[in-house]
Homo-oligomer: A and B are copies of this chain.
Amino acid sequence: MKKQPTIVTGRIKLRRFAPDYCAGLDKKKTRARTDARGRRIGDLQPLLYANAHHAVLLIFQGMDASGKDGAIRTVLQHVNPAGVQTANFKVPSEEEKAHDFLWRIHHAVPRAGSIGVFNRSHYEAVLAERVLGLVPRQTWRRRYGEIVDFERMLVANGVLILKFHLHLSRREQAKRFKERLADPKKNWKFSHADLATRQRWPDYIDAYEDMLNATSHPAARWHIVPADRNWYRDHVVAGIVVKALDALKLKWPKPAKNLAKVRIGK
């Protein structure tokens, strides 16, 4: 099996990326390794918090049922929830619409020392808003540059940004929608609006492809994560997070001064 790249460093065609790619790995063994990666993330989070120099921002995009919730749950399952801030970006409120598209995003950026998760993000402003025709072409095209500038500023100010496009096939989406309809624990998730989105599949693929090419800049690259197999998706995401955290080379901070002289009493 030819190795499929994940990181977007040059111009890409999305259809060249197989959503069911799994690098020939074994499901059971891989799950165990993913769990070990999750534990490593759980171990590194207190160091991130103690240092409070960096924030980590994980951005998840992908079609309905691509597994954004599932990936977040698995990858962060061993992390203290107190160290994680998750933001779900839904349809903007009237107040949010009355501001620029980055206003509500900026507010949700994680503080130093914590892990932030964006379940959907500012990228909806060049995806759904483009496909649904909510903004003119010149607006969503201008936003690419505005997003890159915004992310560069965040990175320069200590935010480590990791961006994941969960790449799902249309066929696998159909399968998952049918499962949702059949399962009483899942069918509350089903919305008729999801079908309308599904019908615009080719338009969304175009929008995703343009977005990936326009906004995968050196300070914050996009990762295209094959998403047809949950276990491989989680493995890839966990690996990228571990590698990025390890690269920070976090150590326990130096203690406050004069600790040797401190007398506590009884």
Q: A residues bordering B, Cβ < 8 Å?
A: 50, 69, 72-73, 76-77, 79-86, 88, 117, 119, 170-171, 174, 177-178, 181, 184-185, 187-192, 195, 198, 252-256, 258-259, 262, 264-266
Contact = CB atoms under 8 A, between A and B. Distances in A.
A201 to B, nearest CB: 10
Contacts of A258: 192
Nearest to A262: B181
Contacts of A82: 69, 72-73, 76, 84, 86, 88, 117, 119
Q: How many copies does the complex hold?
A: 2
15 contacts: A73-B80, A77-B80, A79-B81, A80-B81, A81-B81, A81-B86, A83-B86, A84-B84, A85-B86, A177-B264, A184-B252, A188-B252, A188-B256, A190-B255, A190-B256
A174 B264 contact: yes
A73 B191 CA distance: 34
B84 A266 contact: no
Given A77-B81, A181-B264, 19 more contacts: A72-B81, A73-B81, A76-B82, A80-B81, A82-B84, A82-B88, A82-B117, A82-B119, A84-B84, A174-B266, A181-B259, A184-B252, A184-B255, A185-B252, A188-B253, A188-B255, A192-B258, A195-B262, A195-B264
A224 B127 CA distance: 50
Contacts of A264: 174, 177-178, 181, 195, 198
Given A255-B187, A256-B190, A174 B265 contact: yes
